Structure 1
Amino acid sequence: MGPHGNPKVPPARRPDGGDTRRLGRRHWALLALLAEHGVLHTGQITALLFGSRPAAVRHLTRLMRAGLVRRFVHRNDPTHLAYYELSADGAERLTVRLREANRPVPVAMGKPGPDLFVVNEFFVGLVGEARRQGRGVLFRWRRALEAAVWLREHAVPAAPSAYGVWIEDGAAVRFLLHVDHDKPGRLSSTPAPPAAAWLADYRQAPRGVPATAVLVLCPTRQREDELHRDLTADPLPVTVATTTFEQLATAGNGAEAIWRVVGAEPAVLLRLAEIGR
């Protein structure tokens, strides 16, 4: 399932036996990128790794022909945006190459994490902002599973969608990203729990939360307001800042002044780098 809530259209594949002998450095870098992020569309891959769309498509086509990458679109997406993910053969070949080079193999290589499409857009937005403005840099990024494992090493049982460190003008913000949901699961008629319920595990942190802030992306302003009311009445042991999907889309990236801090003046919106100051 993807961002449009519909099954994938099966890709047409043209394998050439999985021959990797002609793959260059950028082909392997592209495989590693997909291994880290699970699924990316053409525009995201272009922004992260290539200077032009034709270059990205050329490298992707080579990997598809080798059977190392799969392409798909979503049936109800009128833009026919193409997404790419590692094939089983691609994951296997990349694993062998990384081990031969004594490099770490990503946890859950190439497998989708929670809220994958939203989280990847957030990541790409920060990377793009860093390149355009030069004020900030996304110093560190961990996907959901890596972030959860890292938190458990600090005795925090929470399960964020991602962890990152954004540095801007000398200020570093270590954030735990959560994506809120206001609808029940596809197989459940039970209403979605209150927004604050997703964050309750942070109260079980005997040594504190090793982050500057928890960032929450809310589907609606109503859910955002509800979260602020609940956490003002029963605060977490860490700063919480929120924004909505719409505000994030309008701003273009999460570094902009779109964040409302729980317990602060509601009308004041902060840049990411200002949170926790």
Structure 2
Amino acid sequence: MDDPVLRVQYQLTDRDRVLLGWLYDHGVLTSVQIAHALFPTLDFCQRRLRKLYRLGLVGRFRPQRAEGGSYPYHYVIDQLGAEVVAAGRDERPPRRDHARAERRRWTSSRTLAHRLGINGFFTELAGYARTQPGAELRAWLSEAACARVGSFTTADDSALVLAYRPRVRPDGYGVWAEDGVAVPVFVEYDTGGEQLSVLVDKLTGYRELFAAIGRVWPVLFWLPSAARERHLRRLFADTPPPVPVATGSRDYAASAGLCPAEAVWAAGPGDGQRYRLVDVAGYVADLRHPVDGAAA
């Protein structure tokens, strides 16, 4: 019997496999995010995405803008793509309606903007690493992966392993490597819809998490505006956070033409200085790891 997974595998590049894995794990990415993270040009990216779409590996949809027009194509995993990923990971094949359920989920999801936001954070890092020698996004875990029961255990000096406690639900986790240093970080992507006190309260869960695993890693708050960042840092000044935090704002980064890997992070007591992501690790003694020893 002809196996469609075997038939299509020889047509895939390493970059295709990375993309399919991202869509399988993180749900949805726009063509612009994919191009920035993985391709030299948007045109090249779109041609390859059309090929993957015709092969039945990815699905796509284009939300309408309220003010008229449409957004770029949003890509999700298709059923054959999900089966290819599962086969490559030696996992059980996904259920037959996996892709259809995922596509329906994101085309009707109220959380689509938030998911695209956190995915955009990590694809910006990947795009920076693509063009900068010595930089690498070594790990990227989704909220679902961070919350998976049984995924967490004790960490030792040779491996980075997460530990889970119900009170903490990071939007994402990553290991960013640059200049011979690997920095593990948790990311809280803020859309501005919650009270700032809710963000502050999340740090209690991280404190419990770090106590359980015996390690301390930075928690990044990626905020929509510099004004909201200032207000959050005022709260931190009044009540010092129980874990290392760094804050950055998307409008500041955009106006300065910078990405999350660069000097957009305010950390420490709030002297106004902005730090590169790799330098945020300097606030905690055991954050810095040789790149070869940092696995997730």
What is the TM-score of this pair, normalised by structure 1? 0.74
Q: Is the 2:20–2:82 contact (alpha carbons within 8 Å) kept by the matching residues of 1? A: no
Listed as ranges, the matches of 1:242-261 within 5 Å are: 242-250=247-255, 251-261=257-267
**1:154 matched to which residue of 2?**
163
**1:25 matched to which residue of 2?**
12
CA shift in 2, pair 1:103/1:134, >3 Å: farther
More helix, by proportion = 2
Paired residues, what number? Answer: 249
Give the counterpart of 1:81 among 38, 55, 72: 72
**Structure 2 CA distance, aligned partners of 1:104 and 1:239?**
39
Give the counterpart of 1:274 among 262, 279, 283: 279
Q: Is the 2:23–2:77 contact (alpha carbons within 8 Å) kept by the matching residues of 1? A: yes
Residue 42, structure 1, aligned to residue 31, structure 2? yes
**1:203 matched to which residue of 2?**
207
Superposed CA offset, 1:93-143 (max 9, x none): 3355336xx25889x996768822112221121112122221422122111
CA shift in 2, pair 1:192/1:273, >3 Å: closer
**1:7 matched to which residue of 2?**
none
CA shift in 2, pair 1:19/1:51, >3 Å: farther
1:240, distance to aligned residue in structure 2 (A) = 0.3
Listed as ranges, the matches of 1:61-76 within 5 Å are: 61-76=50-65
Residue 230, structure 1, aligned to residue 235, structure 2? yes
1:231, distance to aligned residue in structure 2 (A) = 2.7
Listed as ranges, the matches of 1:7-18 within 5 Å are: none
CA shift in 2, pair 1:252/1:79, >3 Å: farther
Superposed CA RMSD:
3.3
Where structure 2 has 5 or more consecutive residues not aligned to the other structure, the ranges are: 154-161, 283-296
Give the counterpart of 2:218 among 210, 213, 220: 213
1:39, distance to aligned residue in structure 2 (A) = 1.2
Q: Percent identity?
A: 28
